[in-house]
Chain A
Amino acid sequence: MDIGSLLNALILGVSIASIWLIAALGLTIIYGAAGVINMAHGEFIMLGAYSSYMLQYYFGLPYLLCIPASFVIVAAVGLVLERGLIQYLYNRPLDTLLATYGVSLVLMQGVRLIFGSDPKYLAAPALFSSNISLGFASVSTFRVVILLVTALCVLGIWLLFYKTRFGVQVRAVMQNKEMAASFGINSSRIYMMTFALGAGLAGVAGSLFGVLAIVLPTMGASYVVQAFLMVVTGGGSLAGTVVASGVTGQLQSVFAFFSNDTFARFLIFVLIVVFLRFRPQGLFAQAGARR
């Protein structure tokens, strides 16, 4: 073992962390703010990838524009879903779980009916299929892009939640819905906006994963479990998810460096279970009454 390779593994760890984080970001918003356990999160990611594919294939939109466009499209899908279904279920969390699981199946099969079950090809600029070499360390350009987009998203959410009037309202509703309502905040509208925001973030993740890995109707399933793990380990707050993803991503890379991928995953899941045994509320539990 030499220091250069270990350093490479550490850099890779940051990248893996950003992938876990962008996958979990939308779920954090939806679960943290609206309290909805959204089983369709993986399918929102998948829809993001297919939105990018569709825009690129049928309208020739450049890839970099597909990323924000996917945000808009999937946010719109989320908005419709919230108005049409989720808003009637806020007081019945278990039903939400089942309903969103049903929605995930509908979305998956719907996409399969429209686009077929064969994998699709999403083209990215040639620049993204190369790497940046800094002597001993080497990192792929596209991983840097993912890292930047993730950082931008986190920064944007932080600004939105902590620096704007809307953010104050969201946090007020999160802490106590009835009290917030008595101060004139339209909580139904807040839930709608946060759900759409969370869905849109999943869409961004999807258009990135489409280039990093594959575009398939079933692609969401592989991300939803790790996204849930990050949100639960983090405690449902933005800071919690950021820290949880950072630590697990880094551990994944370092464990895989010293042993192999399968063992690294095994170890991480064991550690998370042990952690939740002693701290079931997660890293940074939110203040205030949960519904």
Chain B
Amino acid sequence: MDFTRRRLLTTAAAASAAAVAMPNIMTSDKAYAAPLKKGEPIKVGLLFSLTGALAVPEEDSTLVLQYAFDEINKNGGVGGVPVEPVIVDAKSDFGVYSEKTKELILREKVTALFGCYTSASRKAILPTVMQRNHLLYYPTCYEGAECTQNTICTGPLANQHSQDLIPFMVEKFGKKVFFVGSNYVWPKESNKNAKIWLEKAGGELVGEEYIPLGSSEFGPVLGKIRDAKPDFIFSTVVGASDIAFHKQFKQEGFKVDSMPIASLTTGEIETRAMGAEFGAGHFLSAPYFQTLDNPTNQKFVENFLKSKYGKNGTTHYNMEETYLTAYVFKAGFEKAAAAVGFENVTPRAIRDNSGGIRVEDNISPEGLVWIDENNFNTWLKPKIGQCQADGTFKIVKAAAEHVKPDPYSIYPDAGTCTATGLKGPDGKLRTNVI
């Protein structure tokens, strides 16, 4: 085709006209999942990054979910039929996340989506998920302050994450604490929560610094920490930066005995990448550790590492939270099928039937958890582990009771999240709040 300037302009005009017209054709709030038939596999979408900067945690999520669905299929599947995961690569690009979400829902007609690691990618796809009245299983710790009717989350919320860690550290090491985090939404919101626990524990915040996401230069921050002389450091640094932080902490001559780092992110994968000598002595709060001493976990670790999906050689809190989503899905689907009939199960029906679902301790490696009936986050027991010289974690404290997930713990004025929407103080119900 001969592309003259005029031609290019008319084509462009036509294309933009089509783009403007598109929303009118496409909007419909009917569920787009394929009608289910007995005997045909149930399709689910795995939306994680297999390439790019987010591939480190997200590739493991894809692997552990494939493992979980294999395990479920081997034991009779979901509602008697096998699950077929459709794997896509979101390429660490938020545009691609949203594009692939549409593809999974509209073309593949999946019954549920499992995906995302960062809050930014979740926020990128939620509008699409909500518009199609679909269902997203989000398997990572996050900041909360959302009340949608289309998500189920199995990671700890900010209010569950640091509730035990801060008082534990204050009691053990002293009152003065320095906050270091990556510069994006989750660390900042987590730190707001942490400040509340810190105040209750009688601690004192001597400094708060945020590092550009992905940065590996911790010289200036460590200089400030040296001047502020805290008793411990509270870290929400993520990804590659976290590894650089721990390395430079030791390289700059800081001693772990007198000023340990209490982290919400530094687990088995990170410790292996930085080398155990840089991780040893520091603390992590998470619902799951590879070393948890119970038969379910021992079986999970052994079978997973032996399987073809265990090539990266470790299990991790984020992988375990992802593993649980498969079983939450199975239970939710079967409950919905019993309520409305197998053929009539829609993503929304699964979500409506998922409140209160329990994953018992014969399946859940971290022990019994259950889905909250109002906000559809997870009741769990956060634990504190200390990294040992060999890179494994020793559990030094486990919560005695399950902690209630509260997405609006630091915004009590916003109202309370219920199954049908966010109930404001004025009594008004708002749906799909993100």
Contacts and interface: CB of A to CB of B under 8 A. Distances in A.
Chain A complexes with chain B: yes
A140 B248 contact: yes
Contacts of A222: 214-216, 240
A116 B311 contact: yes
A73 B278 CA distance: 28
10 contacts: A9-B223, A121-B275, A128-B251, A131-B253, A212-B248, A214-B273, A214-B274, A218-B52, A222-B216, A260-B209
Contact of B251 (A16, A118, A141, A219): A141
Interface string B194-210: 00000000000000011
Interface stretch (B9-17, B53-61, B351-359, B425-433): B53-61
B183 interface: yes
A121 B226 contact: no
A60 to B, nearest CB: 16
Contacts of B211: 261-262
Interface string A1-35: 00001001100100110010000000000000000
A15 B209 CA distance: 21
Nearest to B254: A131
Contacts of B221: 256, 261
Nearest to A117: B55
B240 A214 contact: yes
Interface string A119-142: 111010010111101000010111
Interface of B: 50-53, 55-56, 59-60, 183, 209-212, 214-217, 219-221, 223-224, 226-227, 240, 243-244, 247-248, 250-253, 269-270, 272-275, 277-278, 311-312
A5 B273 contact: no
A171 interface: no
Contacts of A133: 253
A131 B251 contact: yes
A15 B212 contact: no
Given A129-B277, A129-B278, A212 B223 contact: no
B223 A5 contact: yes
Given A117-B56, A140-B253, A262-B210, A214 B243 contact: yes
Contacts of A119: 56, 240, 243, 269-270, 272-273
A202 interface: no
Nearest to A265: B212
A195 interface: no
B270 to A, nearest CB: 8
Contacts of A128: 251
A264 interface: yes
A112 B51 contact: yes
A215 B269 CA distance: 13
Given A16-B219, A213-B244, A218-B52, A142 B209 contact: no
Contacts of A261: 209-212, 215, 217, 220-221
Nearest to B217: A16
Contact of A8 (B223, B251, B269): B223
Contact of B247 (A126, A211, A264): A211
Contacts of B212: 261-262, 265
B226 A214 contact: no
A221 interface: yes
Interface centre among A19, A212, A214, A218 (most CB of B within 10 A): A214
Nearest to B183: A262
A127 B250 CA distance: 11
Would you call the interface of chain A mostly helix, strand, loop, or mixed? helix
A116 to B, nearest CB: 7
A221 B239 CA distance: 15
Nearest to B274: A121
A109 interface: yes
A257 B60 CA distance: 38
Contacts of A256: 220-221
B243 A213 contact: yes
Contacts of B53: 218, 221
Contacts of A211: 247
Contacts of A213: 216, 240, 243-244, 247
A256 B183 CA distance: 14
B56 A212 contact: no
A204 interface: no
A257 B274 contact: no
A116 B240 contact: no
A218 B93 CA distance: 14
A109 B221 CA distance: 33
B273 A120 contact: yes
A186 B220 CA distance: 47
B217 A19 contact: yes
A189 B227 CA distance: 54
Nearest to A223: B216
Contacts of B244: 212-214
A143 to B, nearest CB: 7
Of the candidates A109, A216, A253, the one having the most CB atoms from chain B within 10 angstroms of its own CB is A216
A50 interface: no
B209 A8 contact: no
B128 to A, nearest CB: 27
B240 A216 contact: yes
A229 to B, nearest CB: 15
B109 to A, nearest CB: 30
A209 interface: yes
Contacts of A118: 56, 59-60, 269, 273, 312
Nearest to B212: A262
Contacts of A131: 251-253
